[in-house]
């Protein structure tokens, strides 16, 4: 007799909780931050400007590098003509020039990385209120990063909606 009541309670509980769960709307979505940073207007603008700056500076570096190679070839060709201490002094000067070039090149790459990080931080700062507004407006329970999801339905991806709102709010930024 007790078994009959236990089975009834189990069946009723299953129907109550099973039906409730099956009609619950999923409010978990995901967002691809890399896509936002690369495909939004502001992200494309930042990447284009930094690439332009970088390519211009790389041309200067290439000219400097060619000049150093010419100096080295010239110095090697005069090796037997010059006195030993004069040759050593010129080698030392050439090495100092090469070290200055390498230091300048490293400094430039560091500056570009800093500019890229500052630009991304500014974009992310503008993105926070957009995501928060979307979160509240659409009554979302949880937003996950796409990189943390193995497989997910494309219907749960809100990246394009966020990109559209970001394009309206922040079409470009000032690079320092």
Q: What are the pLDDT digits (tens) for 42-84?
A: 989 999 999 999 999 999 999 999 999 999 998 888 888 888 8
Measured in degrees and rounded to the nearest 5, phi and psi for residue 84 equal -55, -50
pLDDT value of residue 17 = 67
* Tens digit of each residue's pLDDT (9 = 90 or more) over 152-161: 888 889 999 9
Structural domains of the chain in order of their starting residue, each with its CATH number: 2-169 (3.30.910.20)
Rounded to two decimals, the pTM is 0.70
**What are the structure tokens assigned to 37, written together?**
């940073």
C-alpha torsion angle, residues 77, 70, 95, 97 (rounded to 10):
150
pLDDT at 23 over 60: no
Which pLDDT band, with edges at 50, 70 and 90, does 164 fall under? very high
Give the span between the Cα atoms of 14 and 6, in whole angstroms: 12
């Amino acid at each position: 007799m007790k078994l009959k009541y236990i089975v009834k309670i189990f069946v009723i509980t299953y129907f109550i909780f099973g039906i409730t769960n099956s009609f619950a709307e999923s409010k978990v979505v995901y967002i691809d931050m890399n896509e936002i940073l690369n495909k939004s207007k502001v992200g494309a603008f930042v990447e284009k400007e930094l690439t332009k700056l970088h390519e211009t500076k790389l041309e200067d570096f290439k000219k400097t590098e060619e000049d150093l190679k010419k100096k080295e070839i010239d110095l090697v060709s005069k090796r037997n003509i010059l006195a030993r201490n004069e040759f050593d002094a010129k080698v030392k000067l050439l090495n100092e020039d090469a070290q200055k070039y390498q230091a300048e090149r490293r400094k430039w790459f560091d500056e570009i990385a800093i500019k890229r990080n500052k630009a991304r931080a500014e974009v992310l700062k503008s993105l926070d209120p957009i995501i928060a507004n979307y979160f509240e407006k659409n009554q979302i329970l949880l937003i996950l990063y796409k990189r943390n999801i193995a497989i997910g339905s494309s219907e749960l991806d809100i990246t394009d909606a966020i990109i559209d709102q970001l394009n309206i709010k922040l079409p470009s930024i000032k690079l320092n």
